[in-house]
């Protein structure tokens, strides 16, 4: 129910802003509207005020403004001076552009509201620093808060990442550690990463750090003589309670289990099959009093092989098996999947072999593997990329990250922050659409009403600020898409008005009708595509078809 409500509210606000833009600009420029409708189809409520009939219509997937003169046969002749088609080109262009422009104004206003309430962001507190990484050796530790990078204040992880990427050798970090203030020089490395479009890129980063704490998603040594295996814990279990105490991270799990004696009640979330919903499982563990998780047979799940990208992947061909725990690479212990990815990528770029040691049934097994370049595809959005891989898959689930709120109360700064954020998302949307039409991003990424409803519902359950942010971003998407030069969209009309202004007279009616037909079929094609993608992604949940 919350998804339906969120969808109707979000879409209603977006459509109202867009159509109100057209309507108010028309009224200001002396054009009269015959109908102002939210929704399509049969009217479930209507009321005439002045020359305009206001409607709520039964299909809540859009809206429209019908101007006098749009229906030539039924428009009163005395209204001709107020017809949209009777106006000068610049007036018509302003009226058409006002719709998308109001979507941008709405986004800027909503971003201002978000900043005023407080925009939640991932803070610069280090959730995890891998032992023996470059960052660890330079002095960084978990729970350190980075205040400055080379003298520049950083408040969010995005700020931190942006400032660090400007450097190619090392950075000077001002660090807050409990009640101490430290200044550390930390080398940066050119490492593999993901950009905001999900594409692989290389940029300078701190190695071995993450804003997220390591979660309590566990892997279990496949030796049968460990505490974990005797207790019934399985690789891929997320331990979330020990003796009634909530567990949110690997450190908390370590504190809850290490050195304990007697019986403990353990609750885990377990997905019996990949892609299925995790179920709660209650276990009773008879502790042996060991002083570390490793002694109990518990390791981070991200170190255990859960599958292979293909039967021909280098790891599969070398003889690695599901359930193997990756122990070391070239003599150095593997402590995270992130560091493994980085070592593998570097070896692939240098065409060098890796000596990998894995634990299998309590014994260490050696492998010599050269990473190979693989074609990868994200099945959700069809994203394609090439990466150097061993070809292994592991279980991964991020732990919590420290949050901070960006609050702006100065009116001038608040307005500028809203405008700046809107301009940023306009640019991101344009780049994303260009990538879509050039093939960098698959058309599987195109979503329809079901996707909008899911995103709206998910954000609303997180809180109103998250819902507002999604509202602003989708409003910008709507504004940008409407400005695309496709007939029947606002951008298509603006192209026609531009041609009319250049020619000094309107385009021939048959050309305009042909363009409208082409635009109509393009629009219908995109609608069908979005509905198809929605059904494939969400059909199993709604209709018992498609999905995974």
- pLDDT score of 419: 96
Domains and CATH numbers, the chain: 2-30+87-118+421-542 (no CATH), 128-210 (2.30.42.10), 301-394 (2.30.42.10)
Going by the DSSP 8-state scheme, the letter that residue 357 receives in this structure is E
Most confident of 243-257, 511-525, 529-543: 243-257
b/e 317-345 (16+ beta carbons within 10 angstroms → b): eeebeebbbbbbbeeeebbbbbbbbbbbb
Contact status, residue 301 vs residue 397, Cβ threshold 8 Å = yes
Of the chain, the percentage scoring pLDDT greater than 70 comes to 86
Burial class (CB in 10 A: 0-12, 13-18, 19+), 504: exposed
b/e 239-265 (16+ beta carbons within 10 angstroms → b): bbbbeeeebebbbbbbebbbebeeebe
Burial class (CB in 10 A: 0-12, 13-18, 19+), 386: exposed
Between strands 217-220 and 209-210, the pairing is unpaired
| Average pLDDT value for residue range 422-442 | 82
Spatial separation of the C-alpha atoms in residues 308 and 320, rounded to whole Å:
9
- pLDDT score of 422: 96
101-115, 352-366, 412-426, 516-530: least confidently modelled range:
516-530
- pLDDT (tens digit per residue) in 358-390: 999 888 999 999 998 877 665 555 556 778 889
Most confident of 128-142, 255-269, 380-394: 128-142
Could you tell me the two tokens for 24?
Answer: 């108010």
Is residue 443's pLDDT more than 60? yes
Could you tell me the two tokens for 241?
Answer: 């309670």
b/e 424-434 (16+ beta carbons within 10 angstroms → b): ebbebbeebee
Contact status, residue 115 vs residue 99, Cβ threshold 8 Å = no
Is residue 278's pLDDT more than 90? no
Spatial separation of the C-alpha atoms in residues 121 and 216, rounded to whole Å:
23
Going by the DSSP 8-state scheme, the letter that residue 259 receives in this structure is T
Taking the model in full, what pTM does it have?
A: 0.82
Is residue 221's pLDDT more than 90? no
- pLDDT score of 541: 46
For the beta carbon of residue 95, count every other beta carbon within 10 angstroms: 25
Is residue 539's pLDDT more than 70? no
Spatial separation of the C-alpha atoms in residues 219 and 522, rounded to whole Å:
50
Contact status, residue 104 vs residue 14, Cβ threshold 8 Å = no
pLDDT band at 547 (very low <50, low <70, confident <90, very high): very low
What's the distance, CA 209 to chain centroid? 21
Spatial separation of the C-alpha atoms in residues 79 and 504, rounded to whole Å:
25
Residue among 359, 353, 394, 367 nearest 236 (CA): 394
- pLDDT (tens digit per residue) in 38-84: 988 888 999 999 889 999 988 877 888 988 877 666 667 767 788 88
- pLDDT score of 72: 64
Cα–Cα distances in angstroms (integers) from residue 170 to residues 164, 166, 189, 190, 207, in the given order: 9, 10, 8, 11, 11
Between strands 119-122 and 200-205, the pairing is unpaired
Q: Is 19 one of the catalytic residues?
A: yes
What's the distance, CA 370 to chain centroid? 33
Torsion sign over Cα 411, 416, 419, 425: negative
b/e 151-184 (16+ beta carbons within 10 angstroms → b): eeebebbebbbebbeebeeebebbbbeeeeeeeb
Average pLDDT, the chain: 85
Of the chain, the percentage scoring pLDDT greater than 90 comes to 43
- pLDDT score of 531: 61
Spatial separation of the C-alpha atoms in residues 407 and 118, rounded to whole Å:
4
pLDDT band at 544 (very low <50, low <70, confident <90, very high): very low
Residue among 295, 319, 328, 303 nearest 235 (CA): 303
| Average pLDDT value for residue range 271-292 | 74
Catalytic residue among 19, 34, 119, 393: 19
């Amino acid at each position: 129910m919350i998804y339906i409500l969120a969808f109707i509210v979000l879409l209603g606000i977006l459509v109202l802003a867009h159509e109100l833009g057209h309507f108010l600009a028309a009224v200001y420029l002396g054009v009269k509207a015959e109908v102002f409708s939210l929704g399509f189809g049969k009217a479930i409520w209507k009321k005439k005020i002045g020359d305009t009939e206001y409607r709520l219509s039964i299909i809540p997937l859009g809206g429209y403004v019908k101007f006098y003169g749009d229906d030539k046969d039924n428009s009163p002749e005395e209204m001709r001076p107020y017809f949209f088609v009777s106006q000068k080109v610049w007036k018509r262009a302003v009226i058409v552009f006002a719709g998308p422009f109001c979507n941008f104004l709405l986004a800027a206003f909503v971003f201002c509201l978000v900043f005023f309430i407080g925009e939640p962001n991932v803070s610069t507190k280090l959730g995890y620093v891998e032992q023996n990484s470059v960052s660890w050796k330079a002095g960084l530790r978990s729970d350190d808060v980075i205040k400055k990078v080379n003298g520049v204040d950083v408040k969010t992880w995005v700020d931190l990442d942006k400032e660090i990427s400007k450097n190619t050798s090392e950075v000077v970090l001002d660090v807050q550690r409990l009640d101490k203030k430290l200044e550390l020089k930390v080398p940066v490395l050119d490492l593999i990463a993901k950009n905001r479009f999900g594409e692989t890129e290389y940029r300078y980063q701190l190695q071995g750090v993450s804003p997220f704490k390591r979660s309590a998603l566990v892997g279990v040594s496949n030796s049968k003589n460990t505490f974990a295996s005797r207790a019934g814990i399985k690789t891929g279990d997320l331990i979330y309670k020990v003796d009634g105490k909530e567990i949110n991270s690997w450190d908390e799990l370590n504190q809850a289990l290490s050195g304990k004696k007697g019986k403990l009640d353990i609750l885990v979330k377990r997905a019996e099959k990949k892609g299925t919903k995790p179920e709660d499982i209650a276990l009773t563990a008879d502790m042996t009093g060991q002083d570390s998780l490793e002694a109990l047979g518990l390791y981070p799940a991200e170190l255990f092989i859960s599958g292979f990208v293909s039967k021909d992947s280098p790891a599969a061909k070398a003889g690695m098996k599901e359930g193997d725990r990756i122990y070391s690479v070239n003599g150095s212990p593997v402590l995270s999947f992130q560091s493994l990815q980085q070592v593998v990528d570097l070896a692939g770029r240098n065409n060098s072999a890796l000596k990998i040691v894995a634990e299998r049934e309590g014994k260490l097994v050696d492998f010599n593997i050269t990473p190979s370049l693989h074609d990868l595809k994200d099945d959700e959005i069809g994203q394609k990329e090439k990466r150097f891989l061993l070809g292994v898959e592991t279980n991964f689930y991020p732990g919590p990250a420290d949050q901070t709120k960006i609050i702006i109360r100065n009116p001038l700064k608040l307005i500028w922050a809203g405008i700046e954020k809107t301009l940023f998302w306009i640019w991101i949307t344009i780049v994303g659409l260009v990538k879509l039409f050039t093939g960098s991003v698959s058309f599987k990424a195109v979503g329809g009403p079901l996707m909008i409803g899911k995103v709206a519902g998910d954000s609303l359950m997180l809180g109103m600020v998250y819902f507002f942010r999604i509202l602003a971003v989708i409003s910008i998407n709507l504004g940008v898409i409407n400005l695309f030069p496709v007939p029947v969209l606002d951008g298509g009309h603006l192209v026609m008005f531009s041609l009319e202004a250049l020619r000094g007279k309107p385009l021939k009616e048959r050309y305009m009708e042909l363009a409208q037909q082409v635009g109509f079929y393009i629009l219908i094609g995109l609608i069908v595509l979005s509905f198809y993608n929605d059904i494939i992604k969400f059909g199993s949940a709604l209709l018992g078809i498609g999905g995974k």
